[in-house]
């Protein structure tokens, strides 16, 4: 009897009646019931994770794809540094003005970048954004970061620079794009120079309206686009900014 107590009454005393012994024995669970219980537990855990994922997406951004983009951005940062070193080591052209140098190097960069490769770094203080921009707005490219619209120019070339970004997935770089106001500053740090823009306007358009991306004579602009509103692709939000100044690599610019 003492042994039974020491073991937490998992076994009945030796002199206990047979019926009492049977009642005290732990119930056996069939393999089928154990498997079904495992399925239920897995389902409950999965449901909790899905709810948590949804809550995080609504409150901030989708966490799984955010992790994937964060990892991609780390690699892109290394690639961009190598690109900057390459441009810095390029020989100067005699009697070439700074403006012509930027235009020449911007054209060369645009010709030689494949979809998904690093182009430069986009900085928007009001949004707390500092992200590597990649070439192309194809789905695979946008998973890495904000993407440059094919068919638009790069900073340093006359015309419109177009960039798109996600708002809820893959790091959600443009989640707070609707927080930008007239006069908000935007910087594009390219391997050949830094370009500073100020927001001029924000408008909502249909997804098939590409008029804002067209270049206009005598107007150096930056256009940012994203789905609108949040969690919907029904519309597009378009932010247009105008070029204020440009500076060569290494020149002091606001951080």
User: Rounded CA gap, 123 and 133, in Å?
Assistant: 10
C-alpha atoms less than 13 angstroms from C-alpha of 85 in its C-beta half-sphere: 6
User: Rounded CA gap, 103 and 226, in Å?
Assistant: 27
Residue 255 has a CB neighbour count (10 Å cut-off) of: 7
Is residue 148 part of the annotated active site? The answer reads no
Angle at 188 between CA 244 and CA 160, to 5 degrees: 65
Given the residues 143, 144, 166, 189, select the one marked as catalytic. Answer: 166
Given the residues 134, 227, 237, 241, select the one marked as catalytic. Answer: 227
Q: Given its phi and psi angles, is residue 152 left (phi above 0), alpha (psi -120 to 50 degrees) or beta? A: beta
Residue 163 has a CB neighbour count (10 Å cut-off) of: 28
Is residue 227 part of the annotated active site? The answer reads yes
* Catalytic sites, residue numbers: 166, 227
């Amino acid at each position: 009897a003492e042994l039974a107590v020491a073991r937490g009454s998992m076994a009945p005393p030796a002199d206990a009646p047979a019926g009492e012994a049977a009642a005290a024995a732990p119930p056996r669970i069939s393999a089928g019931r154990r498997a079904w219980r495992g399925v239920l537990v897995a389902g409950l855990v999965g449901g909790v994770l899905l709810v948590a994922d949804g809550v995080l997406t609504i409150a901030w951004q989708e966490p799984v794809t955010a992790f994937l983009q964060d990892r991609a951005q780390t690699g892109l940062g290394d690639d961009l540094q190598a690109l900057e070193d390459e441009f810095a080591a390029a020989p100067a052209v005699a009697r070439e003005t700074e403006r012509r140098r930027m235009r020449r190097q911007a054209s060369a960069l645009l010709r030689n970048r494949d979809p998904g490769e690093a182009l430069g770094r986009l900085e928007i203080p009001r949004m707390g954004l500092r992200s590597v921009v990649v070439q192309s707005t194809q789905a695979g490219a946008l998973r890495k970061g904000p993407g440059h619209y094919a068919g638009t120019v790069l900073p340093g070339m006359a015309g419109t620079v177009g960039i798109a970004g996600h708002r809820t997935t893959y790091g959600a770089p443009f989640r707070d794009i609707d927080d930008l106001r007239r006069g908000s500053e935007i910087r594009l740090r390219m391997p050949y120079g830094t370009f500073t823009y100020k927001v001029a306007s924000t408008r909502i358009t249909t997804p098939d309206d590409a008029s804002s991306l067209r270049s206009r004579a005598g107007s150096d602009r930056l256009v940012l686009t994203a789905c609108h509103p949040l969690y919907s692709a029904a519309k597009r939000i378009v932010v247009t900014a105008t070029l204020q100044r440009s500076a060569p690599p290494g020149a002091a610019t606001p951080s």
